[in-house]
């Protein structure tokens, strides 16, 4: 795959990532409502607990998912199918035996676990059976989960996204049928687990079609390969753990210092930032395997160019959404939570965490995801651990000092801003072979100059005296829509150059089935 094809693939992958996210968010909201209304409180709680356990399975990954992406991207360039067979066999059977131990332990302890979860006597046997089915199903899914990572390493992120959308859609259909036809709770869990296992198995079939010489056999498991791959995996795993600590420690800190009741207003404000983060990290996510591919080719110039473009387009996509979310924070919180009048703490924590996520877009996500795969995993791990430690320390200290949830938000913002601009920004400029100022001018300044018309319109709408701005959902949507369109127009006119506008117009024309002007002539 040449560099031009890589660029086209990145664009297509990013677009499919946005589609996948919208499908997941839309169907997720409907699925949540169906389950909340269709299950008893105890069934719903146990269902949520099971899938929370599945979500924390990322901690059992040990970084080998990233390693699979990286090694597939590198070895596919050289078509070294023998080495790739050893790598994938080693990871697959490591996962297989880990799952075997975990599932066996879970089945042996299923009785005590049900007691620990305080399940009522009338549901005890049913929930123990459900737990056993869930553990076995997830045990099957765990080693198969390597194959969506393999697809990403093959630069087939769109295919992986399509399989994820298939899984999400199938799960929604299962839940709707289970509620509509009043299937048993056991049947619901069994069918939902199959919605995970089957797409993973399909991913394996698609992955092998592009690796004709690769075989996965127990005899190919190699301790030497395990240790060689494990060096990268440990760095990736440490980075993942630091991200989990940085991103997920807020609620334990709040509950232990202010009480569990303080989590509710914090969640109301932080939800805006979480959704913003989900919507703005798609470009960063698709660049990891591409970076590994270019690193394996030794093409530093293309890697630097892709870093610069990746950072620029991430900021370009995120900035109008950031402006809208910050300007209409009160209305967005009201829309998401149903709270009529958000408290000052909700608004402050929402604004701070929204800015935190925007800072991650500018300084962290693209650069770290790319160069984790391009030989900088050790330095990335050190940076991540230091930032997570400072984040946790500041969050605890400021929350105790301020006696407010705002302290947790400040504890996240301060280290990310200082380390992002003081450390990562210069590092990124070096890798992009430019200066800090040129990087800022290209990535950030051009975008904000294009957003000036949007800022002016937002200020006019928020401070006009004729109607209460964004006082209800309709006004929020109308004002936000007008401001958003103005932002897109400003970016199109002032942030993109002529060549970029022509390229985007041509790509859109081809997607819609029209011939670009040059071809018509």
Stretch 137-145: mean pLDDT = 87
pLDDT in tens, 377-401: 778 888 888 888 898 899 889 989 9
Contact, 208 vs 72, CB < 8 A? Answer: no
**Where do the H-state alpha helices sit in 328-445?**
329-337, 344-363, 365-372, 377-402, 406-419, 425-431, 436-440
In terms of domains, do 265 and 138 share one? Answer: no
In terms of domains, do 281 and 209 share one? Answer: no
The answer to whether residue 144 is domain-embedded is yes
Stretch 115-131: mean pLDDT = 77
Residue 264 CB partners (closer than 8 Å, separation 6+): none
Give Cα 201 distance to the centre of its chain: 22
Last residue of a domain, one of 238, 265, 289: 238
CA nearest neighbour of 50 among 133, 145, 148, 155: 133
The answer to whether residue 79 is domain-embedded is yes
**Average predicted confidence (pLDDT) for the chain:** 82
Stretch 480-508: mean pLDDT = 86
The answer to whether residue 374 is domain-embedded is yes
pLDDT (0 to 100) of residue 240: 66
Least confident of 4-8, 22-26, 73-77, 108-112: 4-8
pLDDT in tens, 149-184: 888 888 788 888 899 899 999 989 998 998 888 888
216, two tokens = 């996965």
pLDDT (0 to 100) of residue 362: 94
In terms of domains, do 203 and 280 share one? Answer: no
In terms of domains, do 215 and 312 share one? Answer: no
Nearest-angstrom CA–CA distance, 68 and 151: 10
In terms of domains, do 162 and 296 share one? Answer: no
pLDDT (0 to 100) of residue 345: 87
The answer to whether residue 177 is domain-embedded is yes
31, two tokens = 């699925």
The answer to whether residue 520 is domain-embedded is no
Backbone angles phi, psi at 64, to 5 degrees: -75, -20
pLDDT top residue among 229 and 520: 229
pLDDT in tens, 367-380: 888 887 777 777 88
Nearest-angstrom CA–CA distance, 312 and 361: 10
The answer to whether residue 479 is domain-embedded is yes
The answer to whether residue 243 is domain-embedded is no
In terms of domains, do 139 and 203 share one? Answer: yes
Last residue of a domain, one of 238, 259, 286: 238
The answer to whether residue 80 is domain-embedded is yes
pLDDT in tens, 402-435: 888 888 889 989 999 999 999 999 999 998 889 9
In terms of domains, do 476 and 329 share one? Answer: yes
Domain of 190? Answer: 1-238
Last residue of a domain, one of 178, 206, 238: 238
Number of domains in the chain: 2
In terms of domains, do 197 and 114 share one? Answer: yes
In terms of domains, do 380 and 499 share one? Answer: yes
Stretch 137-157: mean pLDDT = 85
In terms of domains, do 274 and 204 share one? Answer: no
pLDDT band at 521 (very low <50, low <70, confident <90, very high): very low
Say how many CA atoms lie within 13 Å of 33 toward its Cβ.
5
In terms of domains, do 216 and 67 share one? Answer: yes
In terms of domains, do 230 and 299 share one? Answer: no
pLDDT in tens, 79-121: 888 888 888 888 888 888 888 888 888 888 877 877 766 667 7
pLDDT in tens, 287-321: 777 777 777 777 788 888 888 988 998 999 899 99
């Amino acid at each position: 795959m040449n560099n031009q094809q890589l660029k086209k693939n990145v664009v297509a992958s990013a677009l499919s990532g946005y589609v996948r996210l919208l499908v997941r968010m839309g169907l997720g909201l409907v699925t949540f409502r169906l389950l909340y209304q269709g299950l008893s409180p105890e069934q719903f709680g146990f269902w949520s607990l099971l899938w929370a356990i599945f979500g924390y399975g990322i901690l059992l990954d040990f970084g080998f998912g990233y390693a699979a992406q990286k090694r597939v991207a590198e070895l596919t360039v050289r078509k070294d199918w023998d080495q790739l067979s050893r790598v994938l066999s080693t990871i697959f059977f490591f996962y297989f035996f880990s799952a075997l131990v975990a599932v066996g332990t879970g089945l042996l302890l299923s009785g005590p676990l049900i007691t620990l979860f305080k399940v009522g006597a009338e549901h005890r046997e049913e929930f123990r059976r459900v737990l056993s089915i869930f553990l076995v199903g997830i045990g099957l899914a765990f080693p198969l989960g390597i194959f969506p990572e393999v697809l990403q390493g093959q630069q087939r992120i769109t295919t992986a996204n399509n399989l994820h959308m298939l899984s999400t859609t199938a799960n929604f259909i299962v839940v709707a049928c289970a509620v509509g036809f009043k299937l048993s709770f056991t049947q619901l869990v069994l069918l939902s687990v199959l919605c995970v296992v089957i797409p993973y198995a399909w991913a394996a079939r698609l992955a092998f079609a592009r690796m004709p010489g690769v075989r996965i056999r127990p005899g190919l498991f190699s301790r030497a390969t395990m240790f060689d791959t494990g060096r990268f995996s440990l760095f990736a795993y440490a980075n993942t753990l630091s991200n989990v600590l940085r991103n997920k420690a807020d609620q334990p800190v709040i509950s232990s210092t202010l009480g569990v009741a303080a989590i509710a207003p914090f969640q109301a404000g932080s939800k805006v930032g979480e959704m913003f983060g989900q919507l703005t990290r798609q470009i960063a996510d698709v660049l990891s395997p591409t970076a590994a591919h270019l690193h394996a080719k030794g093409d530093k110039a293309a890697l630097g160019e892709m870093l610069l473009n990746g950072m620029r387009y991430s900021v370009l996509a995120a900035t109008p959404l950031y402006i809208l979310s910050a300007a209409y924070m009160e209305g967005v919180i009201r829309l998401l939570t149903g709270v009529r009048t958000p408290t000052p703490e909700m608004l402050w924590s929402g604004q701070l965490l929204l800015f935190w996520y925007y800072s991650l877009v500018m300084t962290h996500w693209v650069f770290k995801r790319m160069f984790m795969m391009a030989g900088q995993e050790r330095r990335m791990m050190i940076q991540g651990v230091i930032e997570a430690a400072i984040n946790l320390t500041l969050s605890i200290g400021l929350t105790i000092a301020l006696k407010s949830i705002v302290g947790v938000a400040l504890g996240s913002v301060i280290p990310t801003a200082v380390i992002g601009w003081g450390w990562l920004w210069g590092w990124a400029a070096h890798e992009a072979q430019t200066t800090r100022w040129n990087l800022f001018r290209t990535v950030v300044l051009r975008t904000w100059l294009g957003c000036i018309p949007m800022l002016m319109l937002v200020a006019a709408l928020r401070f006009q005296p004729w109607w209460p701005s964004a006082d209800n959902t309709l006004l929020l949507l109308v004002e936000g829509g007008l401001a958003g369109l103005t932002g897109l127009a400003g970016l199109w006119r002032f942030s993109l150059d002529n060549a970029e506008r022509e390229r985007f117009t041509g790509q859109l024309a081809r997607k819609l089935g029209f011939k670009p002007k040059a071809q018509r002539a």
